[in-house]
């Protein structure tokens, strides 16, 4: 599930796209559960490119900032990436994923 709807059709069991958040749901001990990853605005290339695999052999998803092009860093230059990983019960739809993403981004910008 992406923040804008289901992943949908996969080409060769793979999906690449830019999204603010992606969620993967499974049945765990017969109970729906999932894991969501949220991209923090301000990360390089945000909304982040994602790499998703769903095949008989394996399922996998991860942010992939090098998906479309390389990134050149100067000696000593650093890149900081911030994501939130949220493991949850139940199966989320796109609206729930968006709500949780928006809540997190509001909280992450709040003064500390």
The answer, as to whether pTM is greater than 0.85, is no
How far, in Å, CA of 61 to CA of 108, rounded? 23
Which sequence spans correspond to the domains of the chain? 14-68+78-109
Q: How confident is the model at residue 80 (pLDDT cuts 50, 70, 90)?
A: very high
Query: 51 CB contacts (<8 Å, ≥6 apart)?
Result: 14, 15, 16, 60, 61, 62, 64, 67
Q: Pick the residue with more confidence: 61 or 13? A: 61
pLDDT over 80 at 109, yes or no:
no
Q: How confident is the model at residue 8 (pLDDT cuts 50, 70, 90)?
A: low
How far, in Å, CA of 90 to CA of 112, rounded? 31
Q: What pLDDT does residue 110 have?
A: 52
């Amino acid at each position: 599930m992406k923040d804008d709807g289901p992943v949908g059709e996969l080409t060769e069991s793979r999906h690449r796209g830019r999204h603010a958040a992606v969620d993967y749901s499974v049945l765990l001990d017969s109970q729906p559960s999932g894991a969501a990853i949220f991209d923090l605005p301000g990360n390089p290339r945000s909304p982040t490119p994602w790499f998703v695999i769903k095949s008989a052999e394996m399922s996998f998803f991860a942010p992939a900032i090098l998906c479309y092009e390389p990134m050149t860093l100067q000696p000593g230059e650093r890149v900081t990436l911030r994501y939130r990983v949220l493991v949850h019960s139940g199966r989320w739809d796109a609206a729930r994923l968006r709500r949780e993403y928006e809540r997190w981004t509001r909280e992450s910008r709040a003064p500390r």
